[in-house]
């Protein structure tokens, strides 16, 4: 059976480096934060299909969930609650991935297919890890799939603005992926993301070059060149 669903993947930063007691606290804090944010956003928490993963959770939201509610009220409530949990002796920082698509619900051991796999690849993306590492004050880093970004970000009142996200290209399991990162409360464009593939600058060059002509007769004029004509 296949249904269109919104899917979340959440993962706690620096889980492995904690002792057993602290790992237990992190697990409880993560589950509590997801429950509180989901309840605040009216996401029908009791109907979530969860896969427990120790330092994370993979969540298939109920049919009919509005992605805009996830991207807006849910993320806002989650970020707020996680910030409140930070103390001098306890810190929890979470990476969250959001994706949607046609999901196979009857797999023998999970959700087969690209839509089922992609949230796990996104939440583990190195550029998202870099974003949190570059912003120690942040409690939450969010990454959305290209599909979610194109279809839902900035498309209606109340949704996050597109300029709050930063595109990243990365590879996982020998496959290329595209994601869009946001760090609530912080300027993601100012963060150092050494693992993110460089993207072409969409702005026109500031060199002052002027290119004229067609075919074999192309003339280039600018402050760094004399008049040059390229032809056969």
As a residue count, the chain comes to 232
CATH topology of domain 2-190: Alpha-Beta Plaits (3.30.70)
- Specify the pLDDT at position 201: 42
Burial of 12 (0-12, 13-18, 19+ CB in 10 A): buried
- Specify the pLDDT at position 231: 46
- Specify the pLDDT at position 221: 54
| pTM exceeds 0.75 for this model | yes
All structural domains of the chain with their residue ranges: 2-190, 205-232
pLDDT one digit per residue (tens) for the chain, 232 residues: 889 999 999 999 988 888 888 899 999 999 999 999 999 999 999 999 999 888 899 999 999 999 999 999 999 999 999 999 988 888 999 999 999 999 988 888 888 889 999 999 999 999 999 999 999 999 999 999 999 999 999 988 878 999 999 999 999 988 999 999 999 999 999 999 987 755 544 444 444 555 445 454 555 555 444 444 444 4
- Packing angle between helix 20-40 and helix 75-85, nearest 10 degrees? 140
């Amino acid at each position: 059976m296949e249904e269109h669903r919104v899917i979340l993947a959440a993962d706690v930063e620096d889980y492995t480096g904690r002792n057993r007691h602290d790992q237990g606290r992190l697990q409880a804090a993560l589950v509590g934060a997801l429950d509180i944010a989901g309840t605040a956003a009216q996401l029908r928490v009791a109907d979530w299909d969860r896969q427990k993963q120790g330092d994370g959770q993979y969540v298939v939201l109920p049919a009919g969930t509005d992605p805009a509610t996830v991207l807006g009220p849910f993320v806002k409530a989650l970020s707020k609650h996680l910030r409140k949990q930070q103390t001098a002796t306890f810190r929890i920082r979470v990476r969250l991935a959001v994706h949607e698509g046609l999901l196979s619900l009857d797999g023998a051991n999970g959700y087969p297919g690209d839509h089922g796999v992609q949230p796990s690849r996104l939440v583990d993306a190195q550029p998202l890890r870099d974003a949190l590492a570059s912003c120690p004050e942040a409690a939450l880093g969010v990454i959305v799939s290209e599909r979610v970004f194109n279809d839902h970000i900035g498309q209606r009142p109340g949704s996050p603005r597109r300029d709050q996200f930063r595109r990243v290209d990365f590879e996982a399991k020998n496959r290329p992926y595209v994601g869009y990162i946001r760090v609530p409360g912080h300027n993601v464009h100012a963060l150092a993301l050494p693992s993110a593939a460089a993207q072409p600058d969409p702005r026109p060059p500031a060199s002052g070059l002027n290119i004229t002509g067609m075919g074999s007769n192309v003339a280039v004029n600018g402050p760094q060149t004399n008049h040059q004509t390229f032809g056969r």
